[in-house]
Structures are given as C-alpha cells and as structure tokens.
Amino acid sequence: MSLPEEDLTCPVCCDIFADPVLLSCSHSFCRGCLKHCWDTGIRECPVCRKKASKCNPPSNLALKNVCEAVLQVRRLSSVEGEDKVNCILHGEKLKLFCLIDKQPICVVCQSSKLHKTHDCSPIEEALLDCKDELALSLKSLQEKLDNLKRINMTSNTTLTCIKSQALETQKMIKNHFEQLHQILYHEELARLAAVKKEEEEKIAGMKEKIKELSAEVTCLTETIAIIQEQLKEDDMVLLKNFKDTQDRCKSIMLGSENMSRLLIDVTKHLYNLKYRVWEKLLDHVDYTPITLDPNTAHPCLILSDDLTSLHYSKQPSICPDNPERFHMSAEVVAMTALGSGSHHWVVETGSNHDWLLGVASMSVPRNMEISARPENGFWTLCFRDGDLRAMTSPPSLLTVSRTPKQVKVQLDYNKGTVSFFDATDNTLLYAFTHSFTEPLFPYFYTQSSHPLRILPERVLVTMLRQ
C-alpha cells in the first residue's frame, strides 16, 4: 500500500528523505539535515526535543527504499513529459505543426527535406484549429448517427408494413380469384406464390438493411467515442493522433441511408389482374388503362382495393415514410411512367368538388408543397370552389356550360400535348403544349371524401383465323 507523500517528507528540509535515519523517539530525518541541526551543539530531536541517545543514529532502511522508489517514479514521469513535448528525432521542443502531414514538428524538422516546402503554423494556433476541426467532425458524425438511428427506427415500421401489405395483397388476390372460380385455380396459386416470394425477398432485404444500419451505428458510435477520448487527451497526444483520428473519420462510408424501393410492389400483383387472365374468363374482365400506386399515396388518401379510385380522409393511415410517397398534400400518381406514344384515361369526378387531374414529371419533389403548374413539372386541370381552371401561370379560368362529371385526359408525349375533354360529349376543355424531357406519371389530387374513379375501358378481342 503506498504512503502519502507527506509521510515521506523530512520535517527539516520539507523534501523527500535522503538517506533517512531513525531516532529513538521514532522520528526520522535526512542524515545531512540531522547533522546540520546537531552541529549547533544540542543533540536532540528537532521535532519533539527529546535527547538523542546515540550520536550516530541508525539508517531507516524501509523508509529509504520507499523514498527511492518515489524518486524513481518522478524521474520516469519527467522523462515521459519531455518525450511528449520534444521531437523524437532531434530532441528539440515541438513548436510547429505541419499543415501537410498533420503532425507536430520542431524547428530542425522544418528545415529538413521532409518538411522544407510544407506550410506550418505555431503549435498553439494549430491546436485551436485541430480542436475546431475535430469538433465539426464530431458534430457531423453525431448528426449521421442520429439520422441512422431514426432510419433504423422507421425500418422496423417499414418491416411491419411490408408484412401487412403482403397480407392485404394476398387477400385481394384471393377475392379476385374467387370470382373466377375453379377455372382460375392454378393462376391464383401462381399469383399468391409471387407475392410470397416478393415478401420473403423484401423482408430478407429489410432485415439485411437493418443489420447494416446496426453495424454502421456501432461503427459511428465507436468513432465518436474515440474522438471524445482524443479531445480529453493531452494536447500533444491529440495532435500526434490527429491524422489517424481524422483518417478514421473520413474512411467511414455510410451506404445504408438509401431507403428507396423497399416496399412490396403491390401494383405489380394487382394492376389489371382480371385483364391479364382475360383468355380464361373474358366476360369478367375489367381493364383500366392506368393503375394507382399506393406506395406514392399521401397518408390521407384512401385507395380502392383494385387501385382505380381514391378519396380523402381526415384520419391519416399509418404508412412508412418512404421516398416515393407524397408527404405534404393529398396526391398520388399511377404506377406506369409514360415516356412516349399516345395515352388516354377517363376519370369519373361525380360529386367531388375539389380535385386536380393531369400528369406530373418523374422528378417532381414529393416532400414539399408546390403549385401544380408547368414550371414545376405539372400539367393539370383544377376544379375548386365551383370554378374550373387550367393550372397555367397564372391559372386560367375556363368557361364551360356545365361541370364535367367525367374528364378524359389525353397525353401525346411525342407531340408534346396534354389535353382535357368532357368525356360525355368529347368537348375540349383545355390543352397544354410543352416539349417533355422526362417520363410523366398520371397525377391525381383531392381533398374530398367523394371518390375520383378511373373508368374501365371495353375490351375487344379479335380472333385471327387461318
């Protein structure tokens, strides 16, 4: 057990004992200090004044060994302290910091070939700069860690949603196939297997994603802990380790932040399902030219089971915050991007008095609210407050004899036109002209509880006989 330093101090010189001797009164003194006191002619203990029985008191060997051990530790600590502040190559004090090699150097190092052409700064300035830079790195890494933790939390919600989507999709597939009875039994099994396979693939992918996120969180946490420890270290230790620490920060590559395309592709399994089996039951086929994509729908939009109608609900549904989804307003797009040719679809607006219909560019932002106008990548017709407007800049009020209950949207991509008709008598309502540069999605918006419905088209089958 180590003794307190005051127990190893001579009462005369107030320093660590040097060759301590022990008097009969049990007090110890340096041999030289005691001799100096006794040279005055009085042979007594300098502390308690008791007369000494011997003129040459014995050495206190145990105390001497302890004191020598303490002095040895002091000498080693002094040498280590000099090593921290002195150059290991030249023995000179480290007064400069090489801005190229990110290392503290002495004035001799600066004159050497290794650093002669390098920019340097005083060690005090460099210390402040390095601390500031590490603080910025720490802040950036902490933000990345917080973001990864947030993504990791939402990933579990996404995983649950994938399972829910898979179950709901399977339920809808069963409903469709029940209408087709035994003739479509084998087709039904095939569709269910496809959903199950995708579910397993998506769940496996999601679990791997969560595993990668956890690994990245661990890596970032360890790096942050190292930086925090470095900031607590001696200044010179911090500077010597600065380059390695910074290299470690820069070497961290985060690849798990992309959360796109993780959900079940519901429309792949459900769109125009009856049409795809028309050869088996033509009388039961309903074909719609476009199908809504539920993975893009705002949480307040309720889509029908067959993904051909939508209406607004004040009670938002619980759904993942995936990048494809519209987050700010009640919007949704169809599944298929249109990049060439001519396309049309008819939307039944019915009693809905708050809607926008048209097309939107693939690149329109989905995490902010912007006007549905051509300069923002939208070509739409709007009905609100009893007025029909073409969403030009500014919007153009349209004069019509009656409010259309069915609106036909016709896109000729190659000619660069988007036209709107009253589907009842095919009267032109408005036509946009634009040179399109990217694919377009059929676009829908509503804040009405009355549905907008994409009407099915008649299917004509021509048999070629040889």
**Tens of pLDDT along 191-232?**
889 999 999 999 998 888 888 888 888 888 888 898 898 888
How is domain 286-454 classified at the CATH fold level?
Answer: Jelly Rolls (2.60.120)
Q: What is the mean pLDDT of residues 54-62?
A: 84
Where in the chain are the domains? 5-81, 133-268, 286-454
Residue percentage of the chain with pLDDT more than 90: 40
- For 45, residues 6+ apart whose C-beta sits below 8 A from its C-beta are 23, 25, 27, 52
Is the distance from CB of 28 to CB of 60 less than 8 angstroms? yes
Choice between 148 and 74, residue whose per-residue pLDDT is larger: 148
Least confident of 179-188, 281-290, 301-310, 357-366: 179-188
Choice between 76 and 222, residue whose per-residue pLDDT is larger: 222
Name the pLDDT band for 1 (thresholds 50, 70, 90).
very low
Q: What is the pTM of this model?
A: 0.55
Distances (CA, A) of 258 to 152, 160, 219, 264: 12, 19, 18, 16
Q: What is the mean pLDDT of residues 117-140?
A: 90
Which of 228-242, 261-275, 368-382 is predicted most confidently? 368-382
Check whether the bond before 394 is cis (ω within 30° of 0). Answer: yes
Distances (CA, A) of 433 to 347, 409, 436: 21, 14, 9
Least confident of 208-217, 394-403, 418-427: 208-217
- The CATH number of 5-81, from 3.80.30.10, 3.40.1190.20, 3.30.559.10, 3.30.40.10, is 3.30.40.10
Q: Which pLDDT value is given to residue 433? A: 97
Q: Which residue do the tokens 């049990």 mark? A: 26
Count Cβ atoms within 10 A of the Cβ of residue 200 and give its class: 0-12 exposed, 13-18 middle, 19 or more buried: exposed
Q: Which pLDDT value is given to residue 434? A: 96
Is the distance from CB of 30 to CB of 18 less than 8 angstroms? yes
* Nearest alpha-carbon partner for 87 in 70, 105, 72: 105
Encode pLDDT of 430-446 as tens digits.
999 999 999 999 999 99
Name the pLDDT band for 73 (thresholds 50, 70, 90).
confident
Encode pLDDT of 95-125 as tens digits.
899 988 888 988 888 888 888 889 899 988 8
**Residue 237 scores a pLDDT above 80:** yes
What does the mean pLDDT of the chain come to?
87
Neighbour tally for 365: CB within 10 Å: 12
Choice between 235 and 362, residue whose per-residue pLDDT is larger: 362
Least confident of 75-89, 293-307, 326-340, 382-396: 75-89
Q: Which pLDDT value is given to residue 355? A: 98
